[in-house]
Structure 1
Amino acid sequence: MLDDLLSLIADGRPFAARMFIDGAWADPSGLGVDEVEDPATGRVVATAPRGTRSHAEEALEAARRAQPAWARVPAVERGRAVLALADAVRAEAESLARIVVLEQGKPLGQARGEIGATETFLRYAAEWARRIEGEILPSDSPEEEVWIRRLPHGVVAGLTAWNYPSALATRKLGPALVAGNAFVLKAHEFTPLSGLALAALAERVGLPPGVFNVVTGDGRNVGRALVEGADMTTMTGSTRAGREIYATGAAGIKNLRLELGGKAPFIVMEDADIGRAVEAAVAARFSNCGQICTCNERMYLHEAIADEFLERFVAAARALSIGPGMEDPDLGPKVSGGEVEKVEAMTAASIEAGAEVLLRGGPLTEGRYAHGHFMAPTVLEVRSDDLPVMRDEVFGPVVAARRIGSFEEGLSLANDTGYGLSAYVWSRNLRRVFQAAEGLHFGEIYCNRTNGELVQGFHTGWGLSGLGGEDGKWGFDGYLRKKTMYVNWA
């Protein structure tokens, strides 16, 4: 399978992908298929099997058979297996990056960064192999102790989004495997190739059959079956999808970790370093064509610096290069035509409702852009948050700004949302930084910097942005469950 994927990169030949179940590549014959489209050209580059509930159940059963033996492998050996996979990712990094560009569309430099993160997630998870700790507590009774052990859940299902198809997979896979779980990945229908490439590398390094499985298909069939059958589900995706998973898991009281949408406020005060703030705001809005859950979604600018900030921000947005990801522009295409239509409808409705246009981009449909899903940046200014671009997650190269008169006003407007993933604060005033830490109702706050969480941190959302979290010691601990033993030797 990996050779087929590499051939796809080398000569552009479309091929029929297969699912990876119990250490073997499943025959997709007789199934419907989902077409994998190059967002820059609209060309179909591959097909992936439209899996069924039975395929999900087969993968879960393979994982359940393999997991007890995998859990008995010493944790340090499990860590070495994950390190071997990280080495394989590094060895094939350029090809993996080009696969990401081909199916997802992002600029090549950003795709290389994603594969770097793919490797880092695996390496960091492996470091926890010697840190799986229990506890011994004193009892209330004589000749007795209380033992608390940390043990794997069993079978973990991972459902990933299309915006980071490789990194999101290993963000979940690495800690799940090191903790002693077996793993079933459902790769998104738009971007299944990156997950299948990871399966091919897992096969290459000799990961035991059934420990890592990859199935393809839609969420309502394959995804639902995985949530119902797995011991734990970890998902990155939209709030809409998160609600469906939450409802599905309720019947079995399932252990769920949901990293969902965001509506990040970007607050800039009068004492901020305007040059750095503009640079950060541009990066946080337009990286990956705005398709990041931590993106700068709405800007609150102190009235004393708003004119200068907006002038510089609009100039920087206008100067961004746009083109196919393989050319490594500033802005690649959106992932699909449907995504372009969604963002454009939201933008048009906001303009009709009174948003002032500072820069009008929108869909690009002529010349070299005619067959892809390209959008030029749009920048709006608003006087109210009661517009779609201020209330709903845009997930595209469109951003609106609103002027504020005080830091307290900025905090109040920032918190006026159901989302609670990420927020940005720009101020040299340490008191304001501490006020933000206390007063912003978000799981992750960037102070005087752009987005990009670190692997040793904890990426978590509040409210409509999800449950649980990933990364760091708290993220790793989520892949373990606790068992308490009362040991009496009287």
Structure 2
Amino acid sequence: MERRDIFIGGEWINPSGAGRIEVENPANEQIIASVPDCGADLALEALEAARKAQTSWAAMPAIARAKVVHALAASVQKNSEALATSLVAEQGKPIGQARGEVQAAANFLTYAAENARRIEGDIMPSDNPDEEIMIRRVPRGVVVGLTAWNYPLALAARKLGPALVAGNSFVLMSHEITPLSGLNLARLAQQVGVPAGVFNVITGRGAIAGRAMVESPLSDMITMTGSTRAGREIYRSAADRLKVISLELGGKAPFIVMEDADLDKAVEAAIVARFTNCGQVCTCNERMYLHRDIADRFMQKFIQRIGKLRIGDPMDDPDLGPKVSGVEIDKIEALVEQAIAAGAKAILPGGRLREGSFSKGHWMSPTVLELDRNDNPIIRSEVFGPVVPFMRVDSFEDALTKANDSDYGLSAYLFTRDIQRMMRVSRELNFAEIYFNRANGEQVQGYHAGWNQSGIGGEDGKYGFDNYLKKQTMYVNWS
């Protein structure tokens, strides 16, 4: 078992007074590492280091900051296999998907660095003589990043890159289940010359160390990816000091397939969008609405395709690795039981695997449920696992009504050849990210955000980058 330290002010610190959090490999339940269980004191120490470093970092030309971030992206690429292997060990995703996550992290950093010459302001005429009005975009200050366990490396890079290029300093706390990827990123940042205090990484629990950073006057912005429950708590904790917050939260994506859709294409997308990372993706296919005319044909193809999925050791690159923890499986099992009690029919029972090569670890096989009511608990709550419910719908309007009947508003899917339906969805479907005739997977130049209970703010592209900047207005009079 590896004992890992936290990274504050450019130094690796093993705090003597802190307890330890054990990191489990979800494929075999072996303890692979331990990290400090930081309290509020260490969280505030990290913020103080970030505050101290931020002014000089912001004073550097943006292109100089970008050069450092470019170097970090290159180092992520160079160390991709080690990063991917560590990611598999702590999170459980198949090695091919882990390599994809490492590449995504490098892409996020590279795109952020390319924004250095896009920090633009405005100059406008004043109503007064010999005066101009200048509006500048300037750093927010100290940014706290809180990330989820499903993509711990990519989510850290997604937030870190734009924050640093914009001139902020950064304190990262990954979820306690998957803290190693953030520490690995800090090690590379130190090696490429990120100045001391500009990037700090602590480990611990959100209710203690995370809350301390959210509530502290030393932090200026909170960016978090995680559950809606945690997002609400952060929102409340940040309210007293009117913190700037960006929350990317849960989702309950409707997957709509109309009678004119390319069924083979829709089935493959439904598989990818549900079972990638064992269904642990916020933009996953969480509920399928199938036009009655094609529902039977779609489901026959869908069940056959599920039968070809391989489950096994993530280092062998199967289609499905383990769930991240036993507690997460417990949550899904309880939700499936509630769904069946409310009238759902198990078309493919699936469930927890416990025997043979699956006697150790947290394994689930796919479950498919047919429903006839849109108020079933499994339609209302995020599953975040290899379970998919479906319903038959009579029309496009029926599908829209059922899809919009949700507290969430992150992502949605529509499969149709009818451009009028596509345009209606863009106007009438209340989701921030819509995939037409393809599986999920956002791109760095896009904008990833949620509406309603799926969050506020967002990441990626020019709009996501702008979140890490604030505006300053100057009235320049030379009379």
Matched-pair contact (CA < 8 Å) for 2:256–2:414: yes
Question: What are the equivalent positions in structure 2 for 1:474-489 lying under 5 Å apart?
Answer: 474-489=463-478
Alpha-carbon distance between aligned partners in 2 of 1:428 and 1:143, rounded to the nearest angstrom: 59
Please say which of residues 268-277 and 380-389 is displaced more in the overlay: 380-389
Farther off after superposition, 133-142 or 367-376: 133-142
Match of 2:192 in 1: 205
Task: Kindly indicate whether residue 23 of structure 2 is the aligned counterpart of residue 36 of structure 1.
Answer: yes
Mapping 1:297-312, distance limit 5 Å: 297-312=286-301
In the alignment, structure 2 segments of 5+ residues that lack a partner are none
Using the TM superposition, give the Cα deviation of residue 204 of structure 1 relative to its aligned residue in structure 2, in angstroms: 0.8
- 2:68 is paired with a residue whose SS is helix
CA distance in 2, matches of 1:427, 1:110: 28
Instruction: Work out the CA distance in 2 between the residues paired with 1:62 and 1:158.
Output: 15
Partner of 1:116: 103
Pair 1:451 & 2:434 matched: no
1-side partners of 2:5 and 2:207: how far apart? Answer: 20
What is residue 65 of structure 2 aligned with on the other side?
78
Q: Is the partner of 2:458 in helix, strand or coil?
A: coil
Corresponding residue for residue 362 of structure 1? 351
Distance 1:146 1:102 in 2: 54
Give the aligned partner of residue 320 of structure 1.
309
CA contact (8 A) 2:14 2:36 kept: no
Q: Does 1:462 pair with 2:428?
A: no
Shift of 1:32: 0.9
Q: Is the partner of 2:305 in helix, strand or coil?
A: helix
What code does the residue aligned with 1:363 have? Answer: R
Distance across 2 between alignment mates of 1:314 and 1:128:
44
The answer as to 2:426 corresponding to 1:437 is yes
Q: Is the 8 A contact 1:63 1:210 kept in 2?
A: yes
The residue that corresponds to 1:99 in the other structure is 86
Distance apart, 1:227 and its partner CA: 1.0
Q: Distance in 2 between matches of 1:438 and 1:488?
A: 46
User: What is aligned with 1:11?
Assistant: none
Q: SS at 1:267's partner residue?
A: strand
Matches for 1:265-344 after TM superposition, within 5 Å? 265-344=254-333
Partner secondary structure for residue 343 of structure 1: helix
Q: Kindly state the Cα deviation for residue 283 of structure 1 after the two structures are TM-superposed.
A: 0.4
Match of 1:9 in 2: none
Listed as ranges, the gaps of 5+ residues in structure 1 are 1-13
Shift of 1:431: 0.2
In 1, the alpha carbon distance for the partners of 2:424 and 2:415 equals 12
**How far apart are residue 487 of structure 1 and its match?**
1.7
* Contact 1:318/1:377 (<8 A) preserved: no
Instruction: Report how far residue 90 of structure 1 moved.
Output: 0.6
1:60 equivalent to 2:76? Answer no
Alpha-carbon offset, residue 318 of structure 1: 2.3
Task: Identify the residue that residue 427 of structure 1 maps to in structure 2.
Answer: 416
1:166 match: secondary structure: helix
Pairing 1:163–2:174 present: no
1:90 paired with 2:77, answer yes
Could you tell me how far apart the structure 1 residues matched to 2:188 and 2:257 are?
Answer: 44
Structure 1 residues 6-52: Cα deviation after superposition (integer angstroms, max 9, x where no partner): xxxxxxxx111110000000113332111100000011000010001
Superposed CA deviations along residues 430-484 of structure 1, whole A, max 9, x for unmatched, are: 0000000000101100000100001000001000000100000000000000011
How many angstroms apart in 1 are the aligned matches of 2:132 and 2:15? 54
Distance, in Å, in 1 between the alignment partners of 2:255 and 2:14 is 49
Aligned to 1:247: 236
Residue deviations 1:139-173 (CA, integer Å, cap 9, x gap): 22222211110000010000000000000000000
TM-score, normalization by structure 2: 0.99
- Residue of structure 2 aligned with 1:188, choices 175, 183, 190: 175
Match of 2:14 in 1: 27
The C-alpha deviation readout for 1:385-443, integer Å capped at 9, x for no partner, is 12121110000000000001111111111110110000000000000000000001011
**CA shift digits 1:26-83 (9 cap, x unpaired):** 1133321111000000110000100010101000000000000000111001000000
Deviations 1:210-239 (A, max 9, x none): 000000000011101111231001000000
| Separation in 1, partners of 2:460, 2:40 | 30
Runs of 4+ in 1 over 3 A off after TM superposition: none
One-letter amino acid of the counterpart of residue 196, structure 1 = L
Which AA in structure 2 matches 1:203?
Answer: Q
* C-alpha distance in 1 between matches for 2:16 and 2:308: 48
Query: In 2, distance between residues paired with 1:348 and 1:320?
Result: 24
Q: Letter of the 1:455 partner, please give it.
A: V
**What residue number does 2:367 align with?**
378
Per-residue deviation at 1:138? Answer: 1.8
Residue 245 of structure 1: how far off its partner (Å): 0.1
